[in-house]
Structure 1
């Protein structure tokens, strides 16, 4: 199992959870619920640590390279990311209710049918998500504009600790957590509705990725004075490489080469592409917003536009410099999913499973859009 990637392990966990859930005795369901409760507590404890550990060094590093190109690139990346999130919300709010119609009643099953853990271990986080974000900006900006290196080095080491915790504790146990969630949902009778709805929604998300990329290159085309579809065709090798690597960082060499072939000057591409690999997350934001909206519709929760504008704008910030691992963006976004949308541990586990199942498509959208940003920055500079 260790030789398999995270996505195959999660796929196996989902299938086994569903199959075993149909024949599982009550005690097995309660055992899984107990593990999920403890793991969920630990995950909640780690959320502020993830925010501080990755946002502080990212802001410190970006601020240290302050300049005109940085400001233009950061604004474009953030603007494209927010645009993708709002497109996802607008499309989903129109289409998803029709796809999920008649199934929401199943999602709000009576609490009497829920499995209860035998016990749990309370692990309250050291601070709230908003406090962690404010502290991250304060420390990050302080590092960026101070001459000392002690805090910069310390936060870099703290980032390594958080990353090591994710890689050695959170991700290895994640398939077990997902297995328990789907087993419990099967026992409680909810899994059929979840799968039926999301098979439809995944297709909508893929089409939205294509639409967002076309819009980005139509915006970039007047700056580059080129055909947008020819530009997009030139970037396809980066798209397909990202499908395989599931990592924006690992795709940087291909993205850089294709951007230069598209006509971007080499020095500009060499600055913009590596930077956008950490700050431009249109595809990831689009997926997270679509999945979150679908879950809220299923559970008859309010999902008005102001709420999602707040959510999308915070999402674009918290995912900056998400860890360079498959599913890193969803890990970095757990805080805003809890604090803004009010998701509980069970829903967050479902979000993680859905996101990682489509991780490669979001990454491909991210890196392909980097070429459009590079073309605009090249012209502006």
Structure 2
């Protein structure tokens, strides 16, 4: 029996089910250019499962993590989620590229299973394509763009921007949002180029970088992710473009910073939903314990992909305890409009769109020597500012307008 209807039944049948684990499934890439993100998610999720099991599990039953490879491809993502469902998972999560995350979420819905997006930032996931069984733990492209635009409008006003955009849903979503919030919709004044996705080559990046330089851009907005971003940043550094223009990356994490290298990250402006220095800086004791435990277990500091996956597992546990159930509908009700403080300041699962509303941090890459001399050579970023959850989230009225424009109902 895959699902038990109430937490009460778990205790009534404790003698029979004490050794039967509760299965949760992580669908994430273990191959392809986003594989490092997937590995980071697994590490965070496994640490949470270990901690929960060491403290009695859920209702006396241990958690067991199942994993399937999405390769960051929609078809693979659908197959991965179906495999998890067939194995008996009662809850699924993961995702990196937005296209694969959407495919995974829709496949989970066909099985009446929740899918929580650990990564996958495109606006459509919680706007026109939002649905009952999908929640997003990380911020959206719109939320990150609002924070980044506020910094750019204040610190780099009146500059010429050039957009170098990955040619798929996430890239389009970020560019549209950032152009809107920075008032750079005039493509003649603020040009850009779409870069092949997936599997862009050096020649694609070299052509885009040459166009940015020829355009006389003051700011290069590099809308790339994972190993693609590392490749593009390394090439821009070797071409000395950082001496001619400021490089802005809409979202970064520790894994991508390591991949690109300290020299390439230095001076780059970006946003993060979380960073391992944030708990210490702002006094978040639970999150600091996570950082310490992760470091002790893996001899490395966690990226926000790890922290997100870790937090999602705990959110599942807490939802089960509030709902006294493993049924998806009961868990959805338990999650909607629930607020909590776990990895940073207050976060909320908004019932309107199932977007996790939260603070967004704007950061700048630190000098190479500072990174090299930092703990585990891993302190890549200085925190420049924080945009609150209230400021970053899309309004209810605007969300409903987006839904109406796309022929979608005003409620999930």
For normalisation by structure 1, the TM-score amounts to 0.26
Higher relative contact order (CA 8 A, sep 6+): 1
For normalisation by structure 2, the TM-score amounts to 0.24
